[in-house]
């Protein structure tokens, strides 16, 4: 039996496929268009975005370091940092090696000259500061101190004096040298001085006069303060 339906020509079949494709295209053209717009925006941002800032090596503490540490290779590491954030007083590895810390340094903190106990006692201290040698009554207590410690100095007035008791003659003084200092950083002080409880503190002119007056009244003791 013959099929009564007319034969579909290739041209008609192609036309039908084209119409179906147009219907599908209309359905998804909104999503395709949005995707193309997003892609164009991403490409524009990539082209217009400024390049990352150039970095330079910055020498920082590899771990928490206490005051009095003589810096060795294991205490330091170099990290890349934008040049704008590197402190002007920062040292590179070669400049930091062998230096002695005047104050504690936290891990990741840049090594700067302000943290170092350089060749002078007063390196890194504010203008007008004087270095004052002080002999403590207890050499054992003095031996516990290291550069960078903050201490209060207290004088114990002799019992046979008109006014007995104790008073603070210096507050928050930074220790510059002590028996606990590295041996080769105290060339100006003899072993007898250090063993005898001699320490050197940073003080203002007024504090120095007050401490000297207090030392004439009685022996001095040191009370260590927590770091600020």
- Per-domain residue ranges for the chain? 9-49, 55-115, 130-225
Total residue count of the chain as it appears in this document:
228
In angstroms, the CA 181 to CA 143 distance is 9
pLDDT tens readout for residues 185-225? 444 444 444 456 889 999 999 999 999 998 888 889 999 88
| 44-58: average pLDDT | 73
pLDDT tens readout for residues 140-179? 888 888 888 889 999 977 555 555 568 899 999 988 888 7
Three-point CA angle 198, 191, 206, nearest 5°: 20
- Segment (H or E) for 103: none
Residues forming beta bridges with residue 81, ordered by sequence position: 56
Task: Please state which of the four CATH numbers 1.10.15, 1.10.1240, 2.60.120, 3.90.1210 is assigned to the domain occupying 55-115.
Answer: 3.90.1210
Residue 200, both tokens: 């050197």
Query: Dihedral angle at the C-alpha atoms of 218, 165, 213, 123, nearest 10 degrees?
Result: 90
């Amino acid at each position: 039996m013959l099929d009564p339906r007319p034969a579909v020509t290739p041209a008609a079949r192609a036309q039908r496929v084209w119409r179906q494709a147009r219907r599908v295209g209309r359905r998804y053209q909104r999503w395709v268009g949005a995707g193309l717009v997003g892609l164009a925006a991403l490409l524009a941002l990539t082209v217009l975005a400024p390049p990352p800032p150039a970095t330079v090596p910055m020498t920082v503490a590899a771990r928490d370091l206490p005051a009095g540490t003589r810096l060795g290779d294991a205490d330091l590491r170099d990290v890349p940092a934008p040049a704008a954030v590197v402190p002007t007083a920062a040292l590179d590895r070669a400049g930091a090696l062998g230096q002695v810390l005047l104050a504690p340094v936290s891990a990741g903190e840049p090594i700067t000259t302000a943290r170092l106990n350089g060749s002078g006692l007063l390196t890194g201290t504010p203008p007008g500061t004087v270095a004052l040698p002080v002999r403590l009554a207890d050499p054992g207590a003095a031996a516990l101190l290291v550069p960078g410690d903050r201490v209060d100095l207290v004088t114990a007035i002799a019992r046979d004096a008109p006014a007995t008791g104790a008073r603070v003659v210096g507050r928050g003084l930074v220790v510059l040298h002590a028996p606990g200092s590295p041996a080769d950083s105290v060339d100006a002080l003899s072993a007898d001085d250090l063993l005898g409880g001699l320490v050197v503190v940073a003080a203002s002119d007024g504090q120095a006069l007050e401490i000297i007056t207090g030392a004439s009244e009685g022996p001095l003791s040191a009370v260590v303060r927590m770091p600020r």
